[in-house]
């Protein structure tokens, strides 16, 4: 059994898979958690085991089923050293404005669910006085835009949660990293027209995240230039910003 284990929540996404390979390459065992995990990740788990000689276990996990969080976490083969939460749902802003169920799903998947499961894990890490947590937020949470403010508002709340969690756990030797990706070429964004020069590949983002976690960074934008893009976006006066069609 490897000494280092990372739990990846929302393990079916392209970014999650890139992180799974990144961490296993560094000697970490993996606990991959997602819905229908056996159907989607069985071959991936086998490939990682053979390629990097690490342990990989698959775990059924549904972010909207909060009643099963404790059973899920306590049934893991061992308590992980770190956890990465990549659970997310973009949804469709125009549809969600008139569809209460989609609006609820956006908020629950991107905020309520991640907050609840990470609270449970944080309590364990605090008790053990060790561990690290990575939460994948988004640049969309830095300012509300008319094209995706439901998703953005949920990510803004998640960013604030991670900030408070980082302050709470710092005295217990537990590190919390907030990651704010910009455009990333994934299945979730495949129907969006993304500018190629601003769009990162999942493997690039995974490398940025791994380096930041190893260096105990608090907040990172990935790729790096999004920090300056969002700085400019946040400085636009509200009277001008509300007239922008984006």
Q: Is the link from the previous residue into 52 a cis peptide, with omega within 30 of 0?
A: no
Closest CA relative to residue 56, chosen from 1, 133, 19: 1
At residue 31, φ and ψ (nearest 5 deg) are -120, 105
Residue with structure tokens 């009643």?
67
DSSP code, position 18: H
Please report how many Cα atoms fall inside a 13 Å half-sphere around the Cα of residue 202, on the Cβ side.
19
Catalytic residue flag (residue 151): yes
Helices assigned H by DSSP within the chain: 14-25, 37-52, 69-74, 93-96, 100-107, 113-128, 149-169, 202-214, 226-235, 238-241
Please identify which of the residues 69, 89, 151, 210 carries the catalytic annotation: 151
Cβ partners under 8 Å of residue 238, min gap 6: none
- The catalytic residue positions are 151
């Amino acid at each position: 059994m490897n000494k280092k284990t990372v739990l990846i929540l929302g393990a079916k996404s392209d970014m999650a898979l890139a992180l799974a390979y990144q961490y296993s390459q560094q000697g970490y065992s993996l606990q991959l958690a997602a819905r229908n995990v056996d159907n989607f990740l069985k071959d991936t788990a086998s490939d990682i085991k053979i390629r990097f000689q690490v342990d990989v276990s698959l775990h059924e996990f549904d972010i909207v089923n909060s009643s099963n969080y404790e059973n899920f976490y306590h049934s893991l083969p061992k308590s992980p050293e770190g956890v990465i939460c990549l659970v997310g749902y973009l949804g469709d802003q125009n549809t969600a404005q008139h569809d209460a169920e989609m609006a609820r799903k956006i908020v629950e998947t991107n905020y309520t669910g991640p907050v609840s499961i990470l609270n449970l894990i944080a309590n364990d890490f605090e008790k053990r006085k060790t561990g690290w947590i990575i939460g994948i937020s988004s640049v969309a949470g830095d300012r509300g835009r008319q094209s995706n403010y439901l998703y953005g508002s949920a990510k803004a709340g998640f960013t604030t949660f991670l900030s408070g969690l980082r302050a709470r756990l710092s005295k217990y030797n537990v590190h919390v990293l907030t990651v704010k990706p910009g455009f990333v070429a994934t299945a979730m964004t495949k129907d969006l027209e993304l500018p190629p020069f601003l769009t990162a590949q999942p493997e690039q983002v995974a490398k940025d995240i791994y380096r930041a976690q190893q260096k105990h960074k608090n907040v990172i934008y990935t790729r790096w230039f999004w920090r300056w893009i969002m700085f400019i976006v946040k400085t636009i006066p509200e009277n001008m910003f509300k007239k922008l069609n984006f």
